[in-house]
Structure 1
Amino acid sequence: MAKNYDVIVIGAGPGGMTAALYASRANLSVLMLDRGIYGGQMNNTAEVENYPGFKSILGPDLAKEMYESSTQFDAEYAYGNVERITVTADNTKIIKTDSNEYTTKALIIATGSQYKKLGVPGEEEYSGRGVSYCAVCDGAFFRNREVVVVGGGDSAIEEGSYLTQLVEKVDVVHRRDKLRAQKILQDRAFANSKIDFVWDTIVTEIEGDGQKVTGVMTHNKKTGKDKVLPIGGVFIYVGVEPMTEPFRELGITDEEGWIETNEKMETAVPGIFAIGDVRKKELRQITTAVGDGSIAGQGVFSYIESLKD
C-alpha cells in the first residue's frame, strides 16, 4: 500500500529542508524525498560566505546543520527517484518513485537545477575522466596541473578561484569580453596570479587520448582563430536548467521547464507548491531557497486547513 503523508517535499536542499521544518513544526506529517544525500548543491560548495549567521562555513557542514534542524519535529527522510506524479479527482497527489509509492494532500517541489552541458565532441566521452562540473568534488584529481574553466558567472569564477588552491594554473574561457560574476568574485579572480582569462572564446571540442582529457579546442569569435589549449581537465559552468522532467505533464512549467508560481509559491495546481532553484526566478541562492521554503511550509498548512472547510 502507498504510504500517506500530509505533505511530501521532493528535494532536500536548503529550500526543501526549510519547508519540511515549517510544515512539521505545524504538526503535519512530512516526508522529504531525495535521490541523493540531503543538502543538494551545498555538498558541492567549498565555502559559503553569504549565508546570515556564518561568516564562512563549508557547504556540507551547512547542509548537516540544516538537516538536523529540519527533522527535529519528526519530518521523515527517504531516498527515492521520482518518476511520475498523478493528481486524482479529489486532488490527492500520488508520487511514484523507482522503489515506492506515496500519497499526500500537499506537495512541495524543491528539486533544484543542474549544470548545463556544452554539447561538444568529447564532453560525454571524457565525463569523469577530465570533464567535470564540480571543482570541489574533483579538483584534487588535478593537483599541480593546468585546467580550463568554461564560463563567466558566479559559479565559474568561484570554482576557478577554489581550483587555484590545488592546480598549477586556471584558464577561464569565456565567450564574452567581460564576466557576469559578482564584482567581489571578479576582483579576487583578477588579483589571482594563477588565473588567466581567454576572452571572446568558446570551446568547440574536448580532446583526449582515449583515456583522459589532454586539451580543449577553442575558437575566438572575434579573430576567427582556432587554438588548442593543452590541459589536464575542464570544468564546465555555462548555466543551469531545471530538474522538472517528472512534472512537465502537470502543466506547471514554462517552455524551458521552469516552474511558475505566485508569491505564495503556489503553482497552477491546487496543493502543489514549488520553491528554490526550480522556480522561474532571478536570484538562485541558498538564502532565496530558504525564504521560498518558509513561505511554502506555512502555505501547505493553510492549504490543508482549507480542505476542512
Structure 2
Amino acid sequence: MSDSRHTKVLIIGSGPAGYTAGVYASRAMLSPILVQGMEPGGQLTTTTEVENWPGVNEIQGPELMVNMEAHAKAMGCEIIMDIITDLDLSKRPFTAKGDSGTTYTADAVILATGAKAKWLGLPTEEKFRGFGVSACATCDGFFYRGQEIVVVGGGNTAVEEALFLTNFASKVTLIHRRDELRAEKILIDRLTKNPKIETLWFHEIHEVYGTDSPLGVEGVKVKHTKTGEITDIPAKGVFIAIGHAPASELVKDQLELHNGGYVSVKPGSTETSIPGVFAAGDLTDHKYRQAITSAGMGCMAALDAERFLAEEH
C-alpha cells in the first residue's frame, strides 16, 4: 500500500544546505520533512579532513554531516531515508514521489540536491579518490605543501585551481587534451606568467599510480592524444577540474536553469521561477561550491519559505 504524507515544507537533499534548512524550518515551527536522497550527507561524506568549517579547526567530512543531521533532528526535523524519483511543481500542493512508494505533498519545497564533480572515469582515479585524487583545490590544496601536483582540465575551473595550488605546490602541471584553454583571457594570462605552472597540451591521464599501504599517489601516466605515446609525471596530488554537474534532473523541465543545469534563483534570495519552490546550495551555485555557502543558502531558503507561507495566511 502506498503511503501519503503532507508537510508544509519538503526539503529534498541532505548536504549542508538541506540540513541547515531543516534546522531553520523546524525552529520556525513548520514541521519540515527532509528526504535524504541517494547520498545522505552529500559530497562532504566523500572528503576526509575539513579545515574550513568555522569554529572547528579540523573535522572529518562524514562526522560533520552526522552532526548536522543530528542537529536538524534535535530541532524537530523529520528525516526520511528515501529517494525522490518524481517531482510535480505544476500545481500546489506540490507532489513528490519516493522510491519507497510514499507520495509526499507540500505547500513549499526546498531543493538542496547539490552537485557532483565530474570525474574521468578511470579505475585508478576511483582507487585513489580522497587519497591524492581530489576535485576540490580549496578543500585539499593545503595538504600538498612543497609537492608536485597535476591538474586536469582546460576551463576556468582548471585554471583557477592550478593558480590557487601554486600557493602550496612546488610545481603544478596542467594537463589538457587540446592545445588551447577555454578559460577567460585574464586567467590564461596569469597562468602563462606563473613560473610554477607548466602546461602539457594534447595529453590526457591514462592512469594514476601510487602506493597501497598507506594508500597514496606517486604519479600519473599521461597519453598523447595524437601519437598515443605514454609519459610518466611524478605527482603527489591529482586534481580533476573538468566541471561539476548539478543534480537538477528532477526539475530540469520545470524550473529556469542556467550555466549548464544550475537552478536559477532571484538575486539575493533562494526563490526559483516557481513561487513556493526554493533552491539552495551547490544546485544553484556554480561559483563558490563551499559547505559554508551552502549552509548559508539553506538558512535563507528556510526563511524564504517561512515568509512565503506566512504571506499566504
Moved over 6 A (4+): none
- What whole-Å deviation, never above 9, does each CA across 1:47-97 have from its counterpart, x for those lacking one? 2222211122221221122112111122111122222111354x2110012
Secondary structure of the residue aligned to 1:249 is coil
2:19 alignment partner, SS class: helix
Aligned-pair identity in percent equals: 28
- SS of the aligned residue for 1:3 comes to strand
For residue 212 of structure 2, what is the aligned residue in structure 1? none
Deviation per CA, 1:261-298, whole angstroms, max 9, x where unpaired?
01220001011000000104421111111111111111
Q: Which residue of 1 aligns with 2:4?
A: 2
How much has 1:159 moved relative to structure 2?
4.6
1:130 aligns with 2:124: yes
Counterpart of 1:68 in 2: which secondary structure? helix
**Maintained 8 Å contact 2:125/2:207:** no
The structure-2 alpha-carbon separation of the partners of 1:216 and 1:98, relative to structure 1 and needing over 3 Å to count, comes to farther
- The correspondence for 1:227, drawn from 221, 227, 230, is 230
Give TM-score scaled by structure 1 length: 0.74
Structure 1 residues 294, 207: CA separation in 2 closer, same or farther (over 3 Å shift)? closer
Q: Which residue of 2 aligns with 1:143?
A: none
Which residue of the partner structure matches residue 107 of structure 1?
Answer: 109
* 1:38 Cα deviation after fit: 3.4
- Separation in 2, partners of 1:158, 1:219: 30
| Structure 2 residues not aligned, in runs of 5+ | 173-195, 209-218
Point out where structure 1 has 5 or more consecutive residues left out of the alignment.
140-146, 209-213
Which position in structure 1 is the counterpart of 2:296? 291
* Residue in 2 that maps onto 1:96: 97
2:206 corresponding residue in structure 1: 206
Deviates more, 1:76-85 or 1:269-278: 76-85
8 Å Cα contact 1:24/1:73 also seen in 2: yes
Task: Find the residue that maps to 1:104 and give its secondary structure.
Answer: strand
Residues 185 and 9 (structure 1), Cα distance of their counterparts in 2 relative to 1, 3 Å cut: same
- Tell whether 2:284 aligns with 1:279: yes
Q: Alignment partner of 1:71: what SS?
A: helix
Alignment of 1:99-248 (within 5 A): 99=100, 100-118=102-120, 123=121, 126=122, 129-132=123-126, 135-136=129-130, 139=131, 149=133, 155-156=136-137, 158-159=139-140, 172-175=150-153, 179-181=159-161, 185-190=165-170, 199-201=199-201, 203-204=203-204, 206=206, 216-219=221-224, 226-229=229-232, 236-248=240-252
Task: Give the superposition deviation at 1:225.
Answer: 8.5
Cα offsets for 1:139-183 (capped at 9, x unmatched): 3xxxxxxx7x58xxx71575577589xxxx97514456x952387
Q: Indicate whether 1:256 and 2:260 are aligned.
A: yes
Determine if contact 1:201/1:218 at 8 Å carries over to the other structure.
Answer: no
Q: CA RMSD in A?
A: 3.7
